[in-house]
Chains A and B, each alone.
Chain A
Amino acid sequence: MTRTLVIIPAYNEEHSLPMVLKDLAEQLPDFDVLVISDGSVDGTAAVARAAGVNVVELPFNLGIGGALRTGFAYAARTGYERGVQFDADGQHDPEQVARLLAALDRGADMSVGSRFAEGGAVTYDVGLVRRAAMRMLRLMVRVMVGQQFTDTSSGFRAFSRPVLEFFADTYPVEYMDSVEALVLACNAGFRVDEVAVNMRGRTGGAPSTGGIKLVYYYVRLVVVVLASASRTNRRMRRVRADAGTGDPREVEAT
């Protein structure tokens, strides 16, 4: 059976985490679970250890991007063939992981669970500002990668081994990393499929931001994603140029 790691970034989630881990253990008993405690000051790491899963404890808060990158590095180094990104706040359903993995079986390098795709269901309300911002993100991503995604900031994703290795070094660390990561993966030539999933309301924790601050973050994100897109294009061109002139055996080896 394919070795799969469920990667859970967690920042002060001691209340919701035990339930999430219990669900995972019951419904996906064959999968290994890694909790990355992102500088938590509560009992996040302790409850995770008590649940018998592996824990990586960051010495201070890096933000979700840094935590995920650590998870990808762990998965890549310890030889996992697949990774699943999973939320610690209980909004992801272990039952739906199969849908993400099925997309990898169909040949995708990475799959993104969408609340809004055909066949998915939204069981909770998204605020007005957030909805407008999401629409803008959708448009931006479509323009930049030429592929339609309905839920660009979804944190419910699955990755094949090559993407795990890729993200172990390159996963974006700024806020709203998920959108940037999507653009990054597409521009690097990975096949990214969107999959309809159901999500639940969160059982703990609060939405990370709201209002004016959210607007600021979206503006910042536009800058970051544009920069990231231009950067990857240049890198891709260079890789292609190297592949064209260099020794083919060398290219294969690296």
Chain B
Amino acid sequence: MSVRAHVMVVLLALAAILFILRLVRQRRLRAKYSVLWLSIGLGLAVLAAFPGLLTWVSDVVGVEYPPALFFALALSFLLLLCLHFSWEISRLEDRTRALAEEHALLQQLVLSRMSSDDANGAERVSPSGESPPGGRRR
């Protein structure tokens, strides 16, 4: 790797770390993600600073072309991350759905209670707020 490329890669890695740190400081990243991204940034910086490291690791695991190892690792990491986000989105959807249902039911309860209060003072509310008088319980 030429010196110029080396310097550029190191600078890019440093920029990435600084950007992540900024997001963390501004609390725009949740702690669990900040740790994740910071370790990624550090890993990149280490690899950029010592290019020999990647060559050594690929020798150890038996990969002939070091960049191939790098891309394989990067790709599998991104895939895992996507999977994790899908999981997280599913969970968030479940929660917003439950909230929406609860919200709607409570709103109905409040409205029916208000209308039955209007109709007959502080009477106990029947489940069907607007049902005809005959349908009232108790």
Contacts and interface: CB of A to CB of B under 8 A. Distances in A.
A70 B128 contact: no
Interface string A5-36: 00000000000000000000000000010001
Interface in B15-52: none
A79 B97 contact: no
Nearest to B126: A78
B100 A58 contact: yes
B112 A70 contact: no
B130 A53 contact: yes
Interface stretch (B6-14, B67-75, B81-89, B103-111): B103-111
B130 A58 contact: no
Contact of A52 (B97, B101, B130): B130
A interface secondary structure, majority: mixed
Contacts of A62: 97, 100-101
Interface residues of A, number: 23
Interface of A: 32, 36, 49, 52-60, 62, 66, 69-70, 73-74, 77-80, 173
20 contacts: A32-B127, A49-B130, A53-B130, A54-B128, A54-B130, A55-B108, A56-B104, A56-B105, A56-B107, A58-B101, A59-B104, A62-B100, A69-B101, A73-B101, A74-B105, A77-B105, A78-B128, A79-B127, A80-B127, A173-B97
Given A32-B128, A62-B97, A74-B108, 18 more contacts: A32-B131, A54-B112, A54-B128, A56-B104, A57-B107, A57-B108, A58-B103, A59-B100, A59-B103, A62-B100, A66-B97, A66-B101, A70-B101, A70-B105, A73-B101, A78-B128, A79-B127, A173-B97
